[in-house]
Amino acid sequence: MSPKIKFTKIFIDNQWVDAVSGKSFETFNPHNGSIIANVSEGDKEDIDAAVQAAKRAFHRKSVWRLTSPSRRAELLYKFAALVQRDLEYLAHLETYNNGMIIRNSRRFVKLAVDYIKYNASLADKVHGKTMPIGGLFSYTVKQPVGVCGIILPWNVPLLVFAGKVASALAAGCTVIVKPAEQSPLTSLALAALLAEAGAPPGVVNVVPGYGETAGDALAHHLDVAMISFAGSLEVGKLIQQAAGANNLKRVALELGGKSPLVIMNDADLNIAVPFAALGVFTHQGQICIAASRLYVQSGVYNEFVKRAVEFAQSLTHGDPSDEDTQYGPQIDELLTTHILKCIDSGKLEGAKLLTGGKRINSTGFYIEPTVFADVTDEMTIAKEEIFGPVQSILKFETLEEVIDRANATNYGLAAGIFTTSLENAMQFSTHIEAGMVWVNTYLEFRPDVPFGGFKDSGIGRENGTDGVDIFLEVKTVTMALSKDF
């Protein structure tokens, strides 16, 4: 059954309002392309109203910034409990609006609860340092950055909302969230839960709308002190430019990747094959940490490729809200066309297509799980972030060689290795240029472990204590002690 859609308006000062322009946009179910709601389309004026509300909530005496950390933690714990209460509803809403298979949506809502609780636990542990030097005494205090803009991607909106918003609130910031135009519904549902948990008006505001209008207005706004963004490299660069255009905003950027996963001759293939498939077919490849370059050592290459094809062919597609579905749709026609073009380029450039490669004949935006072997480093499918279900398998001979090849990219988000040798694992994790490295596992993320990338994959870290730190300024106070001292 389709989940009931309760919230489609803009959320400012704990009120649901229409867009100033009166406009709205359609949002879809990727399973069959049907329109599921009309959502208010925020633009510059709506962003300005939301920023003013967040500014009042931040600056007004005795409001959010000065609320005791224990009270902030209490709000976040209540929020976590409400997300847990509505787990089934939220998971189905996420699936309905972005096509994630229901068992993953459920897993991500549970993870979101953990993210919120973890951030709640940090709210009252924001400490400075003391530095007594001669006749002077210095100490530091950490204070919230201020009004923050949070711009979300469509692929995992609920989890990214939970992580970023909970960190910002734990730090004492107030926020304006701009969800992606493709999947705004769970962000609006979370806003309602924050209000129910007791968030004061203006502390969290959510303005759905398009990137070029609402997103751009937020990134340029003079009263916004920081933008925390997750999305593509292309838009990440625009955010960085906008953040330096009027005032100098802090930016945290979680961007794309072309993450290498390495299978050594000594790896246990019973584990490596399913993890490699999970790494690239989870959410139909629409995850920033997708293992989209799979390097397999020559001694196990043929066997690995055979098993990888069998695994891809075993995945059953269907309505992502059905419990048994293992594999769902892409988000929309635009991305589907892009992925099919990438697949064509693989064929034209000489990669061996072993399975998949075609659109699945149904309504909605389905593409077969696709496996290419004999991929080489200069091919488009080995270089570009496809954001689709395409496993590109490349052959290598030595660890040294594969580390050099894996590092030859502008991205640096995640990387993995399957090996039974400690030395291989240590060499790889030391020399690989990536923000997150997995050994004999893949796609593991937790609230207490930093998440983010090197190079063009981003700036800053989410999660762990770093996730809250990025929303804090350090202030140094120096006092002269008595002159007789």
Catalogue the active-site residues. Answer: 254, 288
Among 156, 169, 185, 252, binds ligand NAD (CB under 6 A): 156
Q: Quick one: CA torsion of 467, 470, 471, 474, rounded to 10 degrees?
A: 130
Q: Per-residue contact track with ligand NAD, 425 to 464, x per CB under 6 A? A: ---------------------------------x------
Could you count the other beta carbons within 10 Å of the beta carbon of residue 47?
29
Instruction: Give the distance, in angstroms, between the CA of residue 206 and the centroid of all CA atoms in the same chain.
Output: 17
Instruction: Give the distance, in angstroms, between the CA of residue 307 and the centroid of all CA atoms in the same chain.
Output: 30
108 binds ligand NAD (CB under 6 A): no
The residue among 242 and 402 lying less far from ligand NAD, judged by its C-beta, is 242
How far, CA to CA in Å, does 305 sit from each of 263, 298, 302, 399? Answer: 11, 11, 5, 19
Distance between CA 440 and CA 279 in Å, rounded?
A: 12
225 binds ligand NAD (CB under 6 A): no
The residue among 172 and 209 lying less far from ligand NAD, judged by its C-beta, is 209
Q: Nearest Cα to 388, choosing from 323, 347, 343, 450? A: 343
Distance between CA 28 and CA 182 in Å, rounded?
A: 7
Could you count the other beta carbons within 10 Å of the beta carbon of residue 126?
20
In the chain, the largest separation of any two C-alpha atoms, in whole Å, equals 86
CB of 11 to ligand NAD, least distance (A): 16
Site for ligand NAD in 367-426 (CB under 6 A): 385, 387, 413
154 binds ligand NAD (CB under 6 A): yes
Q: Look-up: residue for tokens 């509300």?
A: 53
Among 151, 206, 294, 351, binds ligand NAD (CB under 6 A): 151
Determine the residue type at 75.
L
Determine the residue type at 394.
L
User: What is the number of the residue whose Cβ is closest to ligand NAD?
Assistant: 211
Size of residue set near ligand NAD by CB under 6 A: 31
The residue among 301 and 454 lying less far from ligand NAD, judged by its C-beta, is 454
Q: Per-residue contact track with ligand NAD, 286 to 315, x per CB under 6 A? A: --x---------------------------
Q: Which range in 49-57, 92-100, 215-223, 341-349 contacts ligand NAD by CB under 6 A?
A: 215-223
Q: Which range in 40-48, 85-93, 96-104, 254-262 contacts ligand NAD by CB under 6 A?
A: 254-262
Spatial contact of 276 and 253, defined as CB atoms under 8 Å apart: no
Q: Which range in 14-22, 226-234, 370-378, 437-445 contacts ligand NAD by CB under 6 A?
A: 226-234
Among 256, 320, 357, 460, binds ligand NAD (CB under 6 A): 256
Alpha helices in 330-421 (DSSP H): 333-348, 380-383, 399-407
Q: Per-residue contact track with ligand NAD, 19 to 58, x per CB under 6 A? A: ----------------------------------------
How far, CA to CA in Å, does 232 sit from each of 16, 141, 186, 221, 421? Answer: 29, 34, 20, 21, 35
The residue among 199 and 206 lying less far from ligand NAD, judged by its C-beta, is 206
Q: Per-residue contact track with ligand NAD, 180 to 199, x per CB under 6 A? A: xx------------------
Q: Look-up: residue for tokens 């997750």?
A: 230
178 binds ligand NAD (CB under 6 A): yes
The residue among 48 and 297 lying less far from ligand NAD, judged by its C-beta, is 48
Among 26, 88, 212, 324, binds ligand NAD (CB under 6 A): 212
Distance between CA 174 and CA 67 in Å, rounded?
A: 12
216 binds ligand NAD (CB under 6 A): yes
CB of 458 to ligand NAD, least distance (A): 6
Q: What tokens were used for 423?
A: 């030395």
Helices 69-85/185-197 angle, 10° precision: 130
Distance between CA 105 and CA 93 in Å, rounded?
A: 9
Rg of the chain over CA atoms, in angstroms? 23
The residue among 19 and 354 lying less far from ligand NAD, judged by its C-beta, is 19
Q: Give the E-state strand segments of 78-186 in sequence order.
A: 130-133, 136-144, 147-151, 174-178
Among 21, 52, 84, 232, binds ligand NAD (CB under 6 A): 232
Phi-psi map region of 11: left, alpha, beta (phi>0 left; psi -120 to 50 alpha): beta
Residues near ligand NAD (CB under 6 A) are: 151-156, 160, 178, 180-181, 210-212, 215-216, 219, 230-232, 235, 238-239, 254-257, 288, 385, 387, 413, 458
